[in-house]
Amino acid sequence: MTDCPDVAPVEEEPLFTNLDIFLFSLIVGLLIYWFLSRKKTEETIPEFKRLTPRETSFIEKMKKTNRNMVVFYGSQTGTAEEFCGRLSKDAQRYGMRGMSADPEEYDMSELPRLAEIDNSLAVFCMATYGEGDPTDNAQDFYDWMQENDEDLKGVNFAVFGLGNKTYEHFNAMGKYTDKRLEELGGKRIYDLGMGDDDGNLEEDFVSWKEQFWPAVCEHFGVEATGDDTSIRQYELVVPTDINMNKVYTGEMGRLKSFETQKPPFDAKNPYLATVAVNRQLNQSGDRHLMHIELDISGSKIRYDSGDHVAVYPVNDVSIVNRIGQILDADLDTVISLNNLDEESNKKHPFPCPTTYRTALTHYLDITNPPRTNVLFELAQYATDPKDQDTLRKMASASPEGKGLYQSWVLDAQRNILAVLEDMPSLHPTIDHLCELLPRLQARYYSIASSGKVYPTMVSICAVVVEFQTSTGRTFNGVATNWLKNKVVVTDNGHKATVPMYVRKSQFRLPFKASNPVVMIGPGTGIAPFMGFLQERGWMKEQGKDVGETILYFGCRRRNEDFLYQQELEEFEKAGVLTQLNVAFSRDQEGKVYVQHLLKKNKEHLWKLIHTDNAHLYICGDARNMARDVQNTFYDIAEEVGGLTHTQAVAYIKKLMTKGRYSLDVWS
């Protein structure tokens, strides 16, 4: 037998290697993860409801809700919107069914279709803004009127304009709307009303609507119901189970917008800017003039010299608390005021749900004298018949009632708190009071800096409003007193903030830097010119040919309120400011104002205007200063230019049309 060598036994190979098992496990694991995650995703994807697009046809809305009267408003500060609401609310007392409407939200090209609705009427409450311009929300409607020749036959209309006689283009928007609607074939059922904010806008409106409603009744053959009882527009809802994260705490639009800031920033989404500087400008005197700088770093907000900054102020806490005390109300109750008209685009009078405290602090105007409609609605809550009669009389259109409202409310500067204090029998429900009070509006200031030089900072120059009223009370301007108390860094280390946004302006430096510039701005009217000077200085540094830059500034005394004296003298020293003319009105026996200095330099000014293509800018008080300055330029055109008065007026008007005579004024 042959011996064989030892052979190692052969092992059977396993079906799967370790690597195979690992890869297989990994694939199975991924499949299970994918399946489970897919299932979870399917379960968590919410079922989105199809969003119903907002109704842009006011005609269809009127038909659907059985309305025959629509009141449109062109409003910049809220007054025209308020008047519009009052008219649409009054409609049912006069046999009409009204709705208020923002022309920006509807297709105004449908206006001719109003004739499809029997006994229909369109009313327009149109404010004039700036230099005879439409308000922002009425711009598209204004463009439509200008560009279209639609036939408005069968369309009944009436217009009430809101303006200010101190401005050059008094009630331009109201006048144009009234004239244009007639030109297009519309039928005017009552004369154009023109309210003057320099006089008594409330009285003008009440007088107009006292005549307007009888004209409506006569035209449509309807009768007034004679029912003067209060008509509530909103119902009070007090939620029982409320998530405080869903409660508004002062935001203008989006909930929690102050916690998570998202651009772009505008009226409904203001930016919370930190206060970087807050210093007093005047050395002495009984007034407080201040310079405030708001830090806009990271906001993506851009601004130009001459633009305006809007700030949302907060009411005085002591006034809020006192109102709550008098009305025996728990100010921290969470409430919602819901519109009884479910079809209305305006669901609440202010952001809801919120607390009474927040509403009175952030959303409602409790400082200005209440309008007559508020007094009328409150009268029912007075337990003393004499107080009831007084309130109703002040809300009437009678001469005696108008006189009483003028003296007791307006002249005495009684706000809602003063009315409640001086009429102890008056105890309205706090929810009705909140429904009636107008919204607290943003305050606008001419920006006192240049966006090219200070792109991350917006400056404000303002005087604190504070005076004694005839009742012995102190009237404190809401915004300026609130701004005055904005400490840069508080005791607990928090930085003070201001909700703000920028509003564009037409108040602009000339396109060509070589054009001469003449700036006239007494007091805080100097604000935009600080921005202009910064920009002209920046242009000079860029090597540009910068024309003559002349400033006429006015204040009371050199050692009291010569605002920005150091900065202005430095601009003059650097050659940025060619000529600095300052009128100190009270430093000598006879008062000297900017117009006196203009007259003194009339030959040079006429050469700049007539020969050198200079641009003129006036900023400040519209009632006296701007008018006096304009008259002075008429005189210069006559005395130096040899024009007649009629020619001088036409000459200045032509400068305005060409954008060479610009105004940034207030009354």
Binding residues: 75-80, 127-130, 162-171, 197, 287, 443-446, 461-463, 477-480, 524, 585-586, 591-595, 628, 666
Annotated binding residues for FMN, written as ranges, equal: 75-80, 127-130, 162-171, 197
Angle at 195 between CA 310 and CA 395, to 5 degrees: 100
Name the phi and psi angles at 490, rounded to 5: -75, 170
CA atoms of 403 and 230, how far apart (whole Å): 24
| Listed residue (132, 2, 3, 138) closest to 72, CA to CA | 138
- The amino acid sitting at 30 is L
Judge residue 4's burial from the number of C-beta atoms within 10 Å of its C-beta, 0-12 exposed, 13-18 middle, 19 or more buried: exposed
Annotated binding residues for NADP(+), written as ranges, equal: 287, 524, 585-586, 591-595, 628
HEC string of 588-649 equals CCCCCCHHHHHHHCHHHHHHHHHCCCCEEEEEEEHHHHHHHHHHHHHHHHHHCCCCCHHHHH
Choice among 295, 344, 396, 666 that is catalytic: 666
Please compute, for residue 223, the number of CA atoms within 13 A of its CA located in the half-sphere on the CB side.
3
CA-CA-CA-CA torsion sign (101, 107, 108, 113): negative
CA atoms of 321 and 329, how far apart (whole Å): 10
Q: Find out whether 341 and 233 touch, Cβ atoms under 8 Å.
A: yes
| Listed residue (516, 547, 548) closest to 614, CA to CA | 516
DSSP state of 82: H
Q: Please indicate whether residue 666 is annotated as part of the active site.
A: yes
Choice among 102, 257, 619, 662 that is catalytic: 619
Residues 6+ positions from 158 with CB-CB distance below 8 Å: 121, 122, 123, 124, 188, 189, 190, 193, 212, 215, 216
**How are strands ordered across the β-sheet holding 334-339?**
234-237, 334-339, 354-355
Choice among 100, 446, 505, 662 that is catalytic: 446
Residues 6+ positions from 13 with CB-CB distance below 8 Å: none
Q: Find out whether 337 and 234 touch, Cβ atoms under 8 Å.
A: yes
Q: Please indicate whether residue 425 is annotated as part of the active site.
A: no
What residues pair up with 497 in beta bridges, in sequence order? 274
What residues pair up with 342 in beta bridges, in sequence order? none
Q: Which of 49-56's residues contact partners 24+ apart within 8 Å by CB, and which partners?
A: 54/105, 54/345, 56/105, 56/106, 56/107
Q: Please indicate whether residue 561 is annotated as part of the active site.
A: no
Q: Please indicate whether residue 664 is annotated as part of the active site.
A: yes
Residue with the two structure tokens 């600080």? 530
Annotated binding residues for FAD, written as ranges, equal: 443-446, 461-463, 477-480, 666
Active site residues: 446, 619, 664, 666
